[in-house]
Amino acid sequence: MTMKKMMLILLVMILAVSSVFAGGSSEKASEGGRLEQIKASGQLVLATGNYVPFEFLDPETNEMAGYDIDLMRLMADKLGVELVVNDMDFTSLIPSLQGGKADVVCAAMYIKPAREEVVDFATPYMKTGMVLVVPSANDSVMSTDDLTGLRVGAKMGATSEAVLQDLLDKGADFEIVSYNETVDYMLDLQTGRIDAAVNDLLNQLEFNKTYEGLKIVGDPFTSAELGIAVQDGDAELLAFINDCLVEFTEDGTMDELYAKWIVGE
């Protein structure tokens, strides 16, 4: 092979490699500038679920309402765009974000390592955890150590069931009674069909507004943080959300939202 042919082959290889890298840079460039894309479209697209009091369909207005909806609408207002709310099954939220069908997910979502592997989370905006719930007249159950011999309700496949199973695996002695929906075991707890229940603190505070005769005992015995998710690598939008959370914390907005939706003032 002549030197000229060798140089020609080398040049072709260099151009091919350069094309690959250029394509990669172009793709990243198209993925970047998301805030400008949102502003240009005039819409911030939110993927969310249905979890009172964070996001739910208000029967009076027939529109989505709640803590997360208000929070994201405030962020949309800062961008000067409309908030578009897509209500969907919880399991569809992250795939919707990954598929580019939503700009952000805000749905009282726990920040978990498995989720952090596929999306980026902003600074946690709220802390929560699992709590014990008993009838108001029950003064004998004060912690998970007092569950021996009792029937304890939990939601099937949810964190409440998982933490109870973990206690059993560590030697505790009680019966888990699993339900499809939290409301079902709250009703059974009211009527005495079960002795105690486990639920998320924030969700239980909402239930206590409606279901009389129940109380939370002790502090949360697990800890979790709620986060707002964006596409993996979407640093610009992530920074904007984090800046908003700092601003809203410092000016009291987060306290106002907590009082309105969580406490119920």
Q: pLDDT 10s per residue in the chain (265 long)?
A: 443 333 333 333 433 333 333 333 333 334 447 899 999 999 999 999 988 899 999 999 999 999 999 999 999 999 999 999 999 988 899 999 999 999 999 999 999 999 999 999 999 999 999 999 999 999 999 999 999 999 999 999 888 999 999 999 999 999 999 998 889 999 999 999 999 999 999 989 988 988 899 999 999 999 999 999 999 999 999 999 999 999 999 999 999 999 999 987 6
Position 9 scores a pLDDT of 38
The answer to whether the predicted template modeling score (pTM) of the entire model surpasses 0.85 is no
Position 29 scores a pLDDT of 32
Q: In angstroms, rounded to a whole number, what is the distance separating the alpha carbons of residues 168 and 2?
A: 76
Do the first three CATH levels of 34-127+225-263 and 130-222 match, i.e. the same topology? yes
Domain ranges within the chain, ordered by starting residue: 34-127+225-263, 130-222
Position 111 scores a pLDDT of 95
- For domain 130-222, the CATH architecture is 3-Layer(aba) Sandwich (3.40)
Give the chain as a DSSP string. --HHHHHHHHHHHHHHHHHHHHHHHHHHHHHS-HHHHHHHHTEEEEEE--BTTTBEEETTTTEEESHHHHHHHHHHHHHT-EEEEEE--GGGHHHHHHTTS-SEE-SS-B--HHHHTTEEE-S--EEE-EEEEEETT--S--SGGG-TT-EEEEETTSHHHHHHHHHHHTT---EEEEESSHHHHHHHHHHTSSSEEEEEHHHHHHHHHHSTTEEEESS-SS-EEE--EEETT-HHHHHHHHHHHHHHHHTTHHHHHIIIIII--
Q: Which amino acid is at 35?
A: L
* Three-state DSSP string of 200-246: EHHHHHHHHHHCCCEEEECCCCCCEEECCEEECCCHHHHHHHHHHHH
Give the CATH number of domain 34-127+225-263. Answer: 3.40.190.10
